[in-house]
A and B are shown apart, each in its own frame.
Chain A
Amino acid sequence: MQPQHARNDAARLRATNVRTALVLLTIALVFFGGVIAARFMGGWTTGISVVGFAVFVFLAFAIGRNLRSPK
């Protein structure tokens, strides 16, 4: 058997990895959706808005998380 702390470490690493992956996946999806949306609704302003909005939401999430659980 693995000692408890090792299992906790593994679980924490797993959670960190999943979090990193989700952030990266979001970036990819925003670029994919953004380029199509920009063209579909016309104009580069839409594209910039999509990316800007995504950055804003991302920042809000990142800051919000830290507000809830201060280290």
Chain B
Amino acid sequence: MSSIPHDRAAAGHGTHDDHAHHPTGLMRWVTTTNHKDIGTMYLWFSFTMFMVGGVMALTIRAELFQPGLQVVHPEFFNQMTTLHGLIMVFGAIMPAAVGFANWMIPLLIGAPDMAFARMNNWSFWLLPPAAILLVTSLFVPGGAASAGWTLYPPLTIQQGMGMDLAIFAVHIMGASSIMGSINIITTILNMRAPGMTLMKMPLFCWTWLITAYLLIAVMPVLAGAVTMLLTDRHFGTSFFNAAGGGDPVLFQHIFWFFGHPEVYIIILPAFGIVSQIIPTFARKPLFGYASMVYATAGIAILSFIVWAHHMFTVGMPVAGVLFFMYATMLIAVPTGVKIFNWLATMWRGAMTFEAPMMFAVGFLFLFTMGGFTGLVLAIAPIDMQLHDTYYVVAHFHYVMVAGSLFAFFGGVYYWLPKWTGTMYDERIAQIHFWTSLVFFNVAFFPQHFLGLAGMPRRIPDYAQQFADWNMVSSIGAFGFGLSQLLVLYAVVKCIRGDGAKAPAKPWEGGDTLEWTVPSPAPYHTFETPPVVR
């Protein structure tokens, strides 16, 4: 911080007196417009939802521990799979990414705060009501939505009021995401410190900028789709209701026009975090910065023309199948560029393997596996066999959990010293990494075998032949779930100040702006913009 001139600090004091006595206690969090407070709330909200969705996942795995029905009713099982998907996607992973964006983007580009601080508060506080709607829908007559997170009609037109609550929750979370995205784009475009050109921005800002554009393009499409579901249910329209001349398959097209870019909305911020971590711990600049930016943009553009690979079994003209198959395979090219660049960054670097780097390297291995099974699933004739089997479940958990979630854990350990001013406990973090890595693979690798053998997803019972690997998978899932208490312990330890005091720059190789401010980062930073050469 000492290198940053303070000539305007005195002049700025008079207008900032409202900052000096902000409310304390609960009201601080309700009324805050500070990007760091809001980032913290997003991250805690996300972790809470991760636990709620995790309990649902463990309910599913408990039922699937043995063939036959033991633990829950089939109807409840379907509610669990649906809510687990909705909560993990909209409640856990996306808010975690927004939390990182809130905390780090202003610090990384040298801005004092987000562009729209009050809207920022609003976009966060929309989320808890949406989460409450989803969770309490379990207790309404007929139970929660149970048609799968993809909300396909005609089932979704027929179900009870739990479905209305889910639709309403999706509306609210969509509005929150759109507001968040507008805020992030505006901040990045208009509030960068002098000298911070777009092509000098840390890659996390780039990946989030592109993610935010994706969100603005596709969240309204999802909102439109569920609005039409709602009017079909209650206002006599027949958008998707075949009985009234509607077309249920059209919903699938619209949903996946949102759904496939959504995959990149989930993974691009994770790419950004990994792109911050790897150069720091390899003590080398990121290899191929410009190609990283172009690859990210390329992935985003391609994501709009591949959606029907989720619908090969629905039936479509051969030309359509071929188009969507080849377009999907094409995504491997920019993704491959990124993987290559990360490896090249590490090549002959002076590497150390603290927890953030461990998670980044774990991400590299496992995300690449998830990417490869995606390539397998893109091949239309193979997809016909594997559609709706556990192979698909294994594939997207490698992308979402070992991809996004691992990168987010890496990001948490990477920036915890900056957030709390205390170094995290390296031993706990390493145990967290290894238990997560091992149990994740125990839980999800066997699901490839189950899928290849033909076990269908979203069914509470299964044939005897699948029993062994399901038992293994369930054991892995419970181990993975329990391991996550370690990250909670590590974070709480940091917040309580139980650990070594963190210097401004705890990582030798860190060369981005957040390491120029003290740890913990002061409540207000960069009120006088830093000058980037």
Interface residues, chain A, with chain B CB atoms under 8 Å away: 1-3, 6, 13, 16-17, 20-21, 24-25, 27-36, 39-40
Q: In the complex, what distance in Å separates the CA atom of A28 from the CA atom of B185?
A: 13
Contact B11 A2 (CB under 8 A): yes
Q: How many residues of B contact A (CB 8 A)?
A: 30
Contact B182 A24 (CB under 8 A): yes
Contact A35 B115 (CB under 8 A): no
Taking CB atoms, residues of chain A closer than 8 Å to B220 are 28-32, 35
Most buried by B among A6, A33, A36: A36
* Contacts A17-B190, A24-B182 given; does A2 touch B221 at CB 8 Å: no
Q: In the complex, what distance in Å separates the CA atom of A30 from the CA atom of B482?
A: 45
Q: Does B49 contact A (CB under 8 A)?
A: no
* Contacts A2-B15, A39-B239 given; does A32 touch B189 at CB 8 Å: no
Smallest beta-carbon distance B35→chain A, Å: 14
Task: List 20 A-B residue pairs with CB atoms under 8 Å apart, sorted by A's residue number.
Answer: A1-B14, A13-B190, A13-B191, A16-B190, A17-B115, A17-B116, A20-B182, A24-B186, A25-B178, A28-B219, A29-B220, A32-B223, A33-B224, A34-B224, A35-B220, A35-B254, A36-B224, A39-B228, A39-B250, A40-B239
When the two chains form the complex, which single residue of B185, B221, B227 contacts A31, counting CB atoms closer than 8 Å? B221
* Contacts A31-B220, A39-B239 given; does A17 touch B228 at CB 8 Å: no
Taking CB atoms, residues of chain A closer than 8 Å to B217 are 27, 31
Q: Does B8 contact A (CB under 8 A)?
A: yes
Q: In the complex, what distance in Å separates the CA atom of A13 from the CA atom of B116?
A: 11
Contact B216 A20 (CB under 8 A): no
Residue of A nearest to B223 (CB): A32
Question: 1/0 contact trace for B213-241 toward A, CB 8 Å?
Answer: 00011111101110110000000000100
* Contacts A13-B191, A28-B216, A35-B224 given; does A20 touch B186 at CB 8 Å: yes
Contact B191 A2 (CB under 8 A): no
Taking CB atoms, residues of chain B closer than 8 Å to A1 are 11, 14
When the two chains form the complex, which single residue of B190, B216, B225 contacts A35, counting CB atoms closer than 8 Å? B225
* Contacts A39-B239, A39-B250 given; does A32 touch B224 at CB 8 Å: yes
Q: In the complex, what distance in Å separates the CA atom of A1 from the CA atom of B219?
A: 43
Across the A-B interface, the 9 shortest Cβ-Cβ residue pairs = A32-B220, A35-B224, A31-B220, A17-B115, A20-B186, A28-B220, A24-B182, A36-B224, A21-B182
Q: Does B436 contact A (CB under 8 A)?
A: no
Taking CB atoms, residues of chain A closer than 8 Å to B216 are 24, 27-28, 31
Q: In the complex, what distance in Å separates the CA atom of A21 from the CA atom of B123?
A: 14
Q: Does B195 contact A (CB under 8 A)?
A: no
* Contacts A16-B190, A36-B228 given; does A6 touch B8 at CB 8 Å: yes
Smallest beta-carbon distance B337→chain A, Å: 28
Smallest beta-carbon distance B526→chain A, Å: 14
Smallest beta-carbon distance A62→chain B, Å: 15
Q: Does B181 contact A (CB under 8 A)?
A: yes
Smallest beta-carbon distance B83→chain A, Å: 25
Q: Does B5 contact A (CB under 8 A)?
A: no
Extra contacts, 5 of them, besides A3-B11, A20-B182 (Cβ < 8 A), are A17-B190, A17-B191, A20-B190, A24-B186, A32-B220
Q: Does B68 contact A (CB under 8 A)?
A: no
Residue of A nearest to B212 (CB): A24
Q: Does B12 contact A (CB under 8 A)?
A: yes
Q: In the complex, what distance in Å separates the CA atom of A60 from the CA atom of B228?
A: 31
Residue of B nearest to A20 (CB): B186
Contact A20 B224 (CB under 8 A): no
Taking CB atoms, residues of chain B closer than 8 Å to A13 are 190-191
Q: In the complex, what distance in Å separates the CA atom of A30 from the CA atom of B15?
A: 38
Q: In the complex, what distance in Å separates the CA atom of A17 from the CA atom of B101?
A: 18
Taking CB atoms, residues of chain A closer than 8 Å to B12 are 2, 6
Taking CB atoms, residues of chain B closer than 8 Å to A30 are 220
Smallest beta-carbon distance B96→chain A, Å: 22
* Contacts A17-B115, A21-B182 given; does A32 touch B14 at CB 8 Å: no
Q: In the complex, what distance in Å separates the CA atom of A1 from the CA atom of B14?
A: 5
Smallest beta-carbon distance A13→chain B, Å: 6
Taking CB atoms, residues of chain A closer than 8 Å to B218 are 31
Contact B224 A31 (CB under 8 A): yes
Q: In the complex, what distance in Å separates the CA atom of A31 from the CA atom of B116?
A: 23
